[in-house]
Structure 1
Amino acid sequence: MARTKNTTHKQGRSGNPAKAATPVRSKRRATARDWIGGARLRTLTLGVVPVVLGTTVGFVDSGTTGDFGAFLAQDGHLAIALLALAVALFLQIGVNYSNDYSDGVRGTDEYRVGPARLTGAGLAKPGTVLTVALTFFGLAAVAGIVIVVLTQLWWLLLVGAAAIVAAWFYTGGKKPYGYNALGEVFVFVFFGLVAVLGTQYVLIGQATTSGWAAAVAAGFFACAVLMVNNIRDIDEDRLAGKRTLAVVVGRPVARVLYGLFLLLPYVVLLWFVLLYFRTGFTYFSLLLALPALAIGVSSRKPRELITALQLSSFASLVFGVVLGITLAVQP
C-alpha cells in the first residue's frame, strides 16, 4: 500500500507552496506501517551512534588489559551498554511520537511536505499518539533506573529526568523551545554530550578527552540531521509560526550551517586518527556525507531534501560504527 501524504500543494503567485497549501486529512485509520513510520526509524541512528562511541571510547580509555570482548564481559559492561542503548532508542522514539502529537494538535503539520504524521493527517487520535509517546518515555526511564541500580550512580536519575523533560518540551507545553530556534541545542546536548559521555561514565567511571571528542562529533551529526529536516520544512514552519533555527536565519544561512554540522565531525575525527591510525577508515563515510551536502545546499524542491536527510542519517551511522569498530580492534 502506498504511503498516504497529508498535504497537497498548489503553487501560488509568491512561489511559496506553503501559502497555497490545502490540508488534507485522511479518512482511514493508521496501519502498523503508519505506526512504524511514526517512529521515524531513520532518526534512530541518533540514538545508536552515541552509545557505540561511548562504549568503544570507554574501552580504549579504560586501561583494561585484553580485547574488547573481555572488556564487555567484565563488571556487567555488556548489560549496561545494552541498557544505555535501550534508553537512547526509547527516548528517540518517544521524542518522535511526542513531536507527532504536539505538532499535530497545534496544526503545525497541516501543511507538511514530508511523510504524513499520525496526528496531523488524522490517522490516529491525538490521545492515542500521546499515550504511545509516554509509553516509550516510560520504557526509557525503566532502562535508566536499572542502570542506576547496577552502577549505584543515583545522581544519574536527575540526568534521566532532565532528558525526558527536555524531550517533551521540545515541541510540547505552552512554550516549546523547538519553536524558538533551540532544537539544535537540545540534540547536541542530549544526543551528543549526554549520550556519549553518559555511556562512557557508567562503564568506566570517568569522561575522558576522547569521550568529549566523540560526543561533539555525535552532537554535530544530530544537528545536521535536524537542520536538513527543518530546511525542508522551512516554508511550512514559517506559515505555522514554528520558529526553528532554519526559519530564524533563513534558507541560505541554514544551508551553510547544515554543511558545517555535517563536516565538523570529520575535523574532530583527526583527534582519533592521531591517536589510533586505523580510525582513519572512518573517513570513508564521507562517500555518504558529501552527496548529502551537495543535495542539501543545492536543492530547489523540499522533497529533494528527504534524500539529503536519509544520507545524513546513514553517514552518521557509518561514521559511528566504523569509528567504534576501529577503536575496538586497537592492539
Structure 2
Amino acid sequence: MRLWWTAARPRTLSIALTPVVVGCVIAWSEGAAVQAPVFLATLVCALLIQIGTNLLNDVADFERGNDRPERVGPLRVTAAGWATPHQVRRAGALAFAAAALCGLGLVIHGGLSILALGLASIAAGWAYSGGVRPVSHSPLGELFVLTFFGIVAVCGSHFLQSGRLSTAAIATGFALGAMAAAVLLVNNHRDVEGDRKAGRRTLAAVLGPAHSRTLHAALMLLPFVLPLWLAFSARFNATTLLALLALPLALVAIRNMRCKQGVALNPVLGQTALAQLAFGTLLAIGMLL
C-alpha cells in the first residue's frame, strides 16, 4: 500500500478536491439544492483522474529518461524500482477506468455536457504525459492545470448541482486554478536545469528563473481579488473575506520561491498547495456562513 500511496502523490490531491468542494458550495450559495450522492461521486471522479494523471506521469518520465539520478524532486516509484513500468501504467489506466465508471452516474444526472467534460478531463490527464508531444514537456503545462484543475473542476461541480454556469463559479475556478498552476510552476522551476538537458521546454525553462518567480507571485496573489469582489456581490456577503486569512501562507510560499533553489524548493511545493487548500476552504466556509 505504501508503494501506491507514494505513487499517487498524496500531497497533490487537495489540488483536485478543493475545486469540487468550492464549486458545490457556490451552487448552494446561489440557491441550488445540493445532492450529497452527486457531490461524493464528483469528488471520487476528480480524485481518480488526478491519481491516474500522477501515475502515468511517473512511468512516462522514467521511460523518457527524465527521472535521472541527479533529480532533486520527491521519490518516483518507477525510477526507484518499486514497481515496473507495466504495473504503474496499468494502475494509471485502472484509475482512469474507475473514474469513467464512477462518472456514468454523473452523466445520467448532468447530461451530455458532463459527458464532454469527463472525457476531456480523462483525455487531458493522459495527454499531460502521454503521446509524442506531452503537455508536461511544453510551456502549456500551467495553462493545462489552470483550466482542468480550476475552471473545469469548479464549473463542472457547480453545474452538476445547479444545472447552469455562473460568473462566480468561473471566477472562482480561475482563482483556484491559478494557485494550482503555481504548484506546477514551482516543480518546473526546481527541475529547470534537468528539464533543459532532457529537451523539455517547460514554462519555467522558457521564462527563466526571475520571470518564473514573478509569475509564481502573480498566480498566488491574483486570487485574493476574488473574495473582495464576492463580498460586494448580490449573492454573497462579507464573510467571503475569510479567504484573505490564507494570504500569509501565500506570502510564505512566494518568499521561499524567491530565496531557495534546487532541493530546497521541495517544501515550497507543499506550501503553495497548502495556500490553495486554505484559500479554497476559507472561501467555502465564508460562503456557507
Shorter-chain TM-score bucket reads over 0.9
In structure 2, the residue matched to 1:42 is: 11
Measure how far apart 1:185 and its partner are: 1.3
- Residue 125 of structure 1 is matched in structure 2 by 84
Maintained 8 Å contact 1:95/1:133 = yes
Q: What SS does the corresponding residue of 2:232 show, helix, strand or coil?
A: helix
Structure 1 stretches lacking a partner, 5+ long: 1-31, 65-70
Q: Does the CA contact (< 8 Å) of 1:45 and 1:313 recur in 2? A: yes
SS at the partner of 2:112? Answer: coil
Q: Does 1:211 align with 2:180?
A: no
Structure 2's unaligned 5+ residue stretches are none
Using the size of structure 1 for normalisation, the TM-score is 0.83
Contact 2:72/2:263, CA 8 A, preserved across alignment: yes
Greater helix share, structure number: 2
**SS of residue matched to 1:174:** coil
Q: For residue 319 of structure 1, what is the aligned residue in structure 2?
A: 279
Give the corresponding residue for 2:193: 235
Residue in 2 aligned with 1:162?
120
Letter of the structure 2 residue corresponding to residue 292 of structure 1: A
Contact kept, 8 Å, 1:61 with 1:208, in 2: the verdict is no
Provide, for residues 175-233 of structure 1, a one-character-per-residue CA deviation record: whole Å limited to 9, x for no partner: 11221111011111111111000111111111111111111111101111110111111
Q: 2:64 and 2:279 mapped to 1: Cα distance?
A: 36
CA separation in 2, counterparts of 1:150 and 1:279?
A: 30
What do residues 263-305 of structure 1 show as CA deviations (whole Å, max 9, x unaligned)? 1111222212223101111111112111111000111x31221
Distance 2:209 2:104 in 1: 42
Tell me if the contact between 2:74 and 2:266 (Cα under 8 Å) persists in the aligned partners.
no
Give the secondary-structure state (helix, strand or coil) at the position aligned to 2:62.
helix
Q: Normalized against structure 2, the TM-score is what?
A: 0.95
Alignment of 1:1-331 (within 5 A): 32-62=1-31, 71-72=33-34, 77-110=35-68, 111-151=70-110, 153-275=111-233, 276-299=237-260, 301-329=261-289
Q: Percent identity?
A: 38
- Give a deviation string over 1:143-178, Cα, whole Å, max 9, x none: 211111233x12322221111111111111111122
The one-letter code sitting in structure 2 at the alignment partner of 1:140 is A
Q: Give the superposed CA RMSD.
A: 1.3
Instruction: Return the offset for 1:105.
Output: 0.6
Q: In terms of Rg, which structure is larger?
A: 1
In 1, the alpha carbon distance for the partners of 2:136 and 2:2 equals 27
User: Cα offset for 1:255?
Assistant: 0.8
One-letter code aligned to 2:240: T
Q: Is the 8 A contact 1:101 1:119 kept in 2?
A: yes
Amino acid of the structure 2 residue aligned with 1:322:
L
Contact map agreement 1:87 1:141 (CA 8 A) in 2: yes
8 Å Cα contact 2:73/2:266 also seen in 1: yes
